[in-house]
Structures are given as C-alpha cells and as structure tokens.
Structure 1
Amino acid sequence: MERKIALVTGASSGIGAAVAQRLAGAGYKVYGTSRRGAQGGSAGFEMIALDVTSDASVQQAVATVVQREGRIDLLVNNAGFGVAPAGAEESSMEQTQAIFDTNVFGVMRMTRAVLPQMRRQRAGRIVHMGSVLGFLPMPYGALYAATKHAIEGYSESLDHELRNWGIRSIVVEPAYTKTPFDANLLEPDAVLDAYRDVRAAVTGRLKELMQGAEGPDVVADTVLEAAQAPRPKLRYTAGRLAKRLRLLRTLAPSAMMDAGLRKDLHLA
C-alpha cells in the first residue's frame, strides 16, 4: 500500500515533534515544519521551513510537498504559542493580534492551502491541535483560550463543508502536557500592578499542575487515532485529565464547574 503523506506544523519540539515521530513510526511519510526548517529535524522525518503567519511561506511549503509527493493525505495544524499567565488587559492589541495570527489565522492559512489538493484527491484529513481550553475558560489565559475556542468552531463547521469530498476536520484536545511550550510563553507586554499578586499565584499553581502532567506521546497517540479512524469523531480528548474535564463540562452543573475552577486555581 502506498505510504500516506503527512504535513505537521510546529514539529521542531514538544507535541509537534512527538506527533511527527509517531506518524512516521506508523508508516506515514512525514514532513515537519518550523521557522528554522531543517535545523529542527529528526531522524524519523524531514523538516522544511514554514512560517504559518506568512501567506507566501505557507503556499511555498505546501507546494513543495505536493511537488515531491503528488498528494497530501494528512495535515496536522500544531504550530502555536501562548502568553504567560496574565490578565487579558495586560496584553496589547498588537500582542493579541500576534497570538491570533499564529493560533487561528495560521491554522486557516494552512487549511486553505491544502484543501485544493485534498479536493482533487477526494480524500484527506485535517487534525487541529486544540485544547481543553477550547471548551473551558482559563482565567489569566483568556487570549489562548479564545484562540482554542475559535479552532473548535472552525473545525466542526469545516467538517460539515468537506465531507462530500471525503475530507474530515477533527480537533484533538490535550490538557496540561509536559513540553517546552510553557518555557516559551510570551510575557504580557502591558503589565498592570493591579494583577501582580494573582498573576504570581496562578503562575505558581500552573507550575504545580505541570509537575504531574502527561507527556506529549499521549497526544501523539491520540492524533494517530484521529488520523486513522475509519469513522472519525469531531473531537478527541488526549489523556486522562482531558477526558475527566470533558466529562465534567458535559455533565456537571455550571455553578459546580465555576466553583471548582476557581478553587483549583486558588482564586479568591
């Protein structure tokens, strides 16, 4: 059987690298991407340069894969970043636009770039890296949560549009995951003294939670499941905590969820 071709954004480290390696181990020919290109490569897959915030870069990367392989069977939209715990008003509009340009518009750029080829093939699968923060609030992480809520709505709507061509759009929802992601969070660029104490408290609590977090291989296994499922679901939670949170969000009264969230983050 001909090897399927996968394109994974943000594959130089963390979840993206784990996903690319897992797909390669399952028989896919994988092209990973990062802004650094081949410098972030791995023995299991090839790296190419890509900046998801650039229309030209996105088009060039997709064209390169199609030229070499003649098809793209799977796109994993993983590239993204977050802002360190802070009040929503502690990020300027420029910083707000930057996170949306990568986490949301970058996903849309990549998806639009691969869809013509997938429609010609009448087959394809697009897996978006979402988060439990796509269905839960995150105080002092409102911008990141907003981007992941946007991806949930985009993916599910897109899935209904594309099924007639044999294409499916799916979201994978991890919870806390041990990766370099947290070490690379942007600092808020409009810091206010009013948030200083609670910002420090939430940051400390998140560090505690990360100590018990699952590794990126759990997410990679879930992405592979979503990529290969004969009848895929619209969304897949990744890991034990994510499954519990999805269940609670579905079944628990909203007041209980609200109180539990504030207690867990040590909010007054």
Structure 2
Amino acid sequence: MMTTTPQVALVTGATSGIGKATAIALAAAGFQVIGTGRNTAQLTAPAGVTYLDLDVTSDELVASAVKQVIDRLGHIDVLVNNAGVGTTGAAEEFSITQTQDIFDINVYGIMRTTKAVLPHMRVQGRGRIINVSSLSGFVPSPFMALYVSTKHAVEGYSQSLDHEVRDYGVRVLLVEPGPINTPFAGHSVEADTPMPLYAAGRRNYDELLEKNLSSGDDPAVVAKVIVAAATDRNPKLRRTAGTTARIINAVHRVAPARIFDRVIRRFNRMPS
C-alpha cells in the first residue's frame, strides 16, 4: 500500500456520525481525505478533509465524483462505503417501492461506488474497499428487517468480491459496528404502510434502539477499526467494532442455534 505521495481515501456519508469520525481519523493517519454527503455546501469540513457532494443512488454522480477525485489527486487508495439509512418498522409494513429505495442506498450505492473505483485500483495494483456493515449483518434484528437484509446483502457481496479482486492487489473488507452513539434513529426511514397489529412491537423497538444508541460506543471507536482495516499489512476480512458487537459475535460463534435464538429474543425484549 506504499506510495510516493500521501494515500487518498474517499469516504461516503462523511458529514456526521461514523463517516465524519472516520474521515477525521484517516486524515490524522496521514491520508488525503475526500468526504461525501448529499449537500455539503453549507458545512465546514474537518481539518484535512475536503467535502464533495454525492448522491450514491445516481450512477452518473458516482462516476463523476470518482473521476473528480482521481483527476485532482491522481489516485484513490481506500474507499470507505459508509453512506446508508436505517429503518424502523416490521417488514410487512414496508411497501415494495420503499424497500427498493432503501436497497438503492444501502446496497446498490455500495455497488456503484465500488464499480467506479475498481478499474482504477486494479490498474494501480493496490487498493482497499472497506464496507461499513453492522452487527445486523450477521444476526437478526426484529423490526429492522429491511435494514438487516441490506446489511446481509453487503456482507455476501463483500466477501465474494474480495475473492474476485484479491489477485489484483485489491481487498474488500467489512467493519461491523454494534450500537453507536449517533443520530441513527432520527435518520431512520419509517415504514410507509404501518399496521396496528405491529404498533406495540414497533414502540418496544424504538425505545430499545434509543436506549442502546444513547449508551453505545463513540463513533471514534468504529473509526479506529476502519483505519486499522485501511492500514494493516495483513488485513482481516471482517472486524467487529464496539463492545456489544464483540460480545454478540462471540456468542454467535459458539452458541447452539436454539440458544442464540433465545439470546436474540431476550436482547430485543420479546416473549420467549
């Protein structure tokens, strides 16, 4: 990963939360950082970070943004795919149109930016694509089914793609945060066809999510893990980030399926 000029990192969804903390941490680690957001004109970028407008649901805007970065700085060494949205509601409460919109951001957005940088990374013979997944990328979470399904898709895509591009000097890596103290809940998409029979479960989820986020790890915890993924000489395919993700991952690896199912229901305050 060594170059004669500072390495360049492109971070999507970099104007708040995990993305902003990651941009700051990468800049502190010596990277030239381009951070993206839908509308950055009125925002002040952190030291060492340059903001660039980007809507990851647009093929044209993604291709243009990647070209701008390469034209300006000459190369992209690390792509951090962080842009995404949460969801709140039972799976049955989301219309197919709304589901497609969520996948367009959380899954196809990652695929767009990845496809845009891969040809460049293959030619230069090096690069790392770090996809921000979630604890929900490997465990279920009731009343987050749409969000969880996008993160499961990101996990499968990332692991498979990593094998396809590794021979060209490119790695595709996963970072899996647990509850992080960010405005995640306030930015989550509510189901567009709510149903009375799910109202109590939805309220329980909303209360639990607010409690878990308020007591969650600082975004800097995740940023530190992302910097390690970007810089470690022999990177691991996946890394959890935060206390809860680490504990749940350990239980998931060793507990029998029936026991883990009970853990999930207890963690989500659901009847046994």
TM-score, normalization by structure 2: 0.96
In the alignment, is the contact (CA less than 8 A) between 1:12 and 1:41 conserved in 2? Answer: no
Distance in 2, matches of 1:127 and 1:34, equals 17
What is the match of residue 76 of structure 1? 80
CA shift, 1:38, in A, is 3.6
What is the match of residue 103 of structure 1? 106
One-letter identity of the residue aligned with 1:56: E
How many equivalent pairs are there? 267
1:241 lines up with 2:244 in the alignment: yes
In the alignment, is the contact (CA less than 8 A) between 1:19 and 1:219 conserved in 2? Answer: yes
State the Cα RMSD in Å: 1.0
* Alignment map for 1:54-69 (pairs within 5 Å): 54-69=58-73
Give the stretch that moved more between structures: 237-246 or 145-154. Answer: 237-246
One-letter identity of the residue aligned with 1:152: E
Please, which of 120, 124, 136 is the counterpart of residue 121 of structure 1?
124
* Alignment map for 1:187-226 (pairs within 5 Å): 187-226=190-229
Distance in 2, matches of 1:200 and 1:164, equals 48
1:144 lines up with 2:147 in the alignment: yes
What is the match of residue 154 of structure 1? 157
Distance in 1, matches of 2:114 and 2:208, equals 35
Identity %: 46
Please, which of 10, 13, 27 is the counterpart of residue 13 of structure 2?
10
What is the match of residue 33 of structure 1? 36
Distance in 1, matches of 2:42 and 2:116, equals 24
CA shift, 1:26, in A, is 0.6
Task: List gaps (5 residues or longer) in structure 2.
Answer: none
1:21 lines up with 2:24 in the alignment: yes
CA shift, 1:204, in A, is 1.2
In the alignment, is the contact (CA less than 8 A) between 2:182 and 2:213 conserved in 1? Answer: no
* Alignment map for 1:172-191 (pairs within 5 Å): 172-191=175-194
1:49 lines up with 2:53 in the alignment: yes
CA shift, 1:240, in A, is 1.6
TM-score, normalization by structure 1: 0.97
CA shift, 1:63, in A, is 0.4
Distance in 2, matches of 1:173 and 1:22, equals 17
In the alignment, is the contact (CA less than 8 A) between 2:9 and 2:77 conserved in 1? Answer: yes
In the alignment, is the contact (CA less than 8 A) between 2:185 and 2:210 conserved in 1? Answer: no
One-letter identity of the residue aligned with 2:33: V
One-letter identity of the residue aligned with 1:66: I
CA shift, 1:241, in A, is 1.4
Task: List gaps (5 residues or longer) in structure 1.
Answer: none
Distance in 2, matches of 1:110 and 1:235, equals 20
Give the stretch that moved more between structures: 195-204 or 16-25. Answer: 195-204
In the alignment, is the contact (CA less than 8 A) between 2:121 and 2:170 conserved in 1? Answer: yes
What is the match of residue 232 of structure 1? 235
Give the stretch that moved more between structures: 158-167 or 34-43. Answer: 34-43
In the alignment, is the contact (CA less than 8 A) between 1:38 and 1:46 conserved in 2? Answer: no
In the alignment, is the contact (CA less than 8 A) between 2:185 and 2:209 conserved in 1? Answer: no
Note the alpha carbon deviations across 1:6-34, whole angstroms, 9 max, x for none: 00000011100000000001100000001
One-letter identity of the residue aligned with 1:83: T
Q: Secondary structure at the match of 1:37?
A: coil
Segments of 4+ moved more than 2 angstroms = 37-41
Q: Secondary structure at the match of 2:123?
A: helix
